[in-house]
Chains A and B, each alone.
Chain A
Amino acid sequence: GDSVTQTEGPVTLSEGTSLTVNCSYETKQYPTLFWYVQYPGEGPQLLFKVPKANEKGSNRGFEATYNKEATSFHLQKASVQESDSAVYYCALSDRMGTGNYKYVFGAGTRLKVIA
């Protein structure tokens, strides 16, 4: 079945340093790939998505490239801030014949940024 594997957390970084959260996926279909971010006590919110292979998504300084050959979608940010502290989820979505979208989330990577 489909699966998503991402960097195991927690990840602790100092403000101003760079971030990479690895994400690898397995599927036999042609999914859309997502990064979601979840702040404490809240539901996850969409950071960005990339529906097509070899394209890049970005938002708020975060970016990721849909690498179909390597089946990867690594999240990167050049310079993290304390406000980036959150849990980051990589996910894939495939449309099913029933009209539902099958979603598979990774285990999440907790990021803590210290001043």
Chain B
Amino acid sequence: AQTIHQWPVAEIKAVGSPLSLGCTIKGKSSPNLYWYWQATGGTLQQLFYSITVGQVESVVQLNLSASRPKDDQFILSTEKLLLSHSGFYLCAWSHRSNSDYTFGSGTRLLVI
């Protein structure tokens, strides 16, 4: 069975500090990978997607970047956090052949 693991579970960071969030998918080769952001009480906004190692497409510009260094790993990062980066970050994967998403349990980020 496939599993998706996100880390860390939660972070409190200062404005201007760097950030790195991780996501690993086990049990599935060559998944499509996605990063989503959810403001408190808000809807889900797709940030990035990747269909293969080393290739990441940006959907929304939020002063964030993403990378896929390995087939099963997806990283979200920034060198300087803004207050507006606070929220719930979700990683998701899907098969190439269909669009069903499986979401991770998310990372809650508070920027102060």
Contacts and interface: CB of A to CB of B under 8 A. Distances in A.
Interface of A: 32, 34, 36, 41-46, 49, 89, 93, 95, 98-101, 103, 105-108
B96 A99 contact: yes
Interface stretch (B14-22, B68-76, B79-87, B97-105): B97-105
A1 to B, nearest CB: 12
Nearest to A31: B99
Interface of B: 32, 42-44, 46, 49, 51, 57, 90, 92, 94, 96, 99-106
A43 B104 contact: yes
Given A43-B103, A46-B101, 17 more contacts: A42-B106, A43-B90, A43-B106, A44-B44, A44-B103, A49-B100, A93-B99, A98-B51, A99-B51, A100-B57, A101-B94, A105-B43, A106-B43, A107-B42, A108-B42, A108-B43, A108-B44
A103 B42 CA distance: 16
A44 B42 CA distance: 13
Contacts, number: 50
Q: Which of A36, A44, A95, A106 neighbours the largest number of chain B CB atoms within 10 Å of its CB?
A: A44
A103 B103 contact: no
Contact of B43 (A34, A93, A107): A107
Given A42-B105, A46-B101, A49-B100, A100 B44 contact: no
Contacts of B51: 98-100
25 contacts: A34-B100, A36-B101, A41-B105, A41-B106, A42-B105, A43-B103, A43-B105, A43-B106, A44-B103, A45-B103, A46-B100, A46-B101, A46-B102, A49-B100, A93-B99, A98-B51, A99-B51, A100-B32, A101-B32, A103-B99, A105-B44, A106-B43, A108-B42, A108-B43, A108-B44
A103 B98 CA distance: 12
B79 to A, nearest CB: 26
Contacts of A95: 99
A98 B42 CA distance: 28
A107 B34 CA distance: 19
